[in-house]
Amino acid sequence: MAVQGENRPAWIGLTRVVIQRVLSALLTLFLVSIVIFIAASLLPGDAAQEVLGQSATPQQVAALRHEMGLDQPAITRYVDWLVAMLSGDPGRSYIADMEVSDLIGERLRNSLTLAGVTALVSSVLALTIGIVSAINRGSKLDRTLNVVTLSLVAVPEFLIATIFVLIFSVKLVWLPSIAMVSPDASWGDMLRSMALPVLCLTFVVTAQMARLTRAAVADQLDRPYVEMARLKGVPFRRIILFHVLPNAAGPVLNAMALSLSYLMGGAIIIETIFSFPGLASLMVNAVTSRDMPLLQSCAMIFCTAYLVLILIADVVAILANPRLRS
């Protein structure tokens, strides 16, 4: 068929652009790893000295420096670290004296569950809020929602958490204020203990996501095709469902992926408050104890997740807008 003949080159061009974006993201990730490595190596003094304390003899420090590879030049250490990371062995923690991969393993799974549930809840909420306020643009409802989401974006996470703990754990005694997650807990227990962290993170993410969703839908409403459909006499509900929403899907998905990156910042505070055994609270512990191998690994995982979200947003935007394909 003729249509297929026309489609093929476009399809190839699209693949090329997407591959380009993926390669560019990989390059950025590589550069990020250099920045993280340099920042973590800038530790004033010496990691070996730090571990052994003030009373260590120079011989002990020298021996540990050798064992940790600190007597190697920085470039050698960086390459060793990068190769080890890529082969799934990010080294040993200074403090816990355990393999970093063992420390991270389960906590990464917990954090991903937390992020996944939050993403699900907040996208449903944000879509509803965003679409409702875009359709009612300029109305009292829209202006109120605008001020509410604008304010929520700027509220510190720990205030939201404090208020929810006061309401749900202290006053109503419905939910635990400490999120104990054990591997053998039932699904119900798990959900109950994750309820408050998810609720708090949802507040943080939804506000941002709803604002971006509203902007994306409002942008579509200004397009000539909407006016055309109106002049033809298409009912408003039909215009929204069959004309605007399919066209807004790309920008809206893009907005959602971007706002999910707010999860990272939020998770650091929220996981710590609720003692949630996740990756973000592990990273905070690593900073407190200046456990550099653990800190580097956690930072790299967060940066990778962030870049993947940005990449998804980018690719969705390309798929949705043919003009970006070339």
Partner 1 sequence: MIRSLASRAAALPLSGRIGLALVLFWLVIAVFGPLIAPYPVGRFVDEEVFSPATSQFWLGSDYLGRDVLSRLIWGARYTVLLALGAAVLAVFTGTSIALFAAIRGGVVDEVISRTMDTLISIPSKIFSLVLVAAFGSSLSLLMLIAAFTYIPGNYRIARALAVNLVGMDFVSVARARGEGAIHIAWREVLPNMIHPLMADMGLRFVFIVLLLSGLSFLGLGVQPPHADLGSLVRENISGLPQGASAILSPAIAIATLTVGANLFIDALKGKGDS
Q: How many residues bind partner 1 (CB under 8 A)?
A: 48
Residue pair 246/297 in contact by the 8 Å Cβ criterion: no
Among 263, 283, 248, 47, smallest CA distance to 134 is for: 248
Among 317, 321, 178, smallest CA distance to 256 is for: 317
- By CB under 8 A, tell whether 153 contacts partner 1: yes
Among 255, 245, 254, smallest CA distance to 208 is for: 255
Among 309, 308, 280, smallest CA distance to 294 is for: 280
Instruction: Restricting to residues 230-259, name those near partner 1 by CB under 8 A.
Output: none
- By CB under 8 A, tell whether 116 contacts partner 1: no
- By CB under 8 A, tell whether 39 contacts partner 1: yes
- By CB under 8 A, tell whether 290 contacts partner 1: yes
- By CB under 8 A, tell whether 308 contacts partner 1: no
The CB-of-280 to partner 1 minimum distance in angstroms stands at: 9
Instruction: Restricting to residues 8-37, name those near partner 1 by CB under 8 A.
Output: 28-29, 31-32, 35-36
Q: Could you give the C-alpha distances from 234 to 153, 215, 217, in angstroms and in order?
A: 37, 23, 18
Tokens of 22: 């993926």
Instruction: Report how far residue 19's alpha carbon sits from residue 248's, in angstroms, rounded to the nearest whole number.
Output: 24
φ/ψ of 175, rounded to 5, equals -130, 150
Span of 80-88, 97-105, 164-172, 184-192 interacting with partner 1 by CB under 8 A: 164-172
- By CB under 8 A, tell whether 74 contacts partner 1: no
Q: 12, 19, 74, 147: which one contacts partner 1 (CB under 8 A)?
A: 147
The CB-of-295 to partner 1 minimum distance in angstroms stands at: 6
Among 127, 165, 191, smallest CA distance to 270 is for: 165
CA 285 to chain centre: 19
Helix (H, G, I), strand (E, B) or coil at 99: strand
Span of 62-70, 80-88, 194-202, 263-271 interacting with partner 1 by CB under 8 A: 263-271
- Indicate the residue among 166 and 185 with the shorter CB distance to partner 1: 166
Residues that bind partner 1 (CB under 8 A): 28-29, 31-32, 35-36, 39-44, 147, 150-151, 153-159, 162, 165-166, 170, 177, 261, 264-265, 268-269, 272, 283-284, 286-288, 290, 292, 295-296, 299, 302-303, 306-307, 310
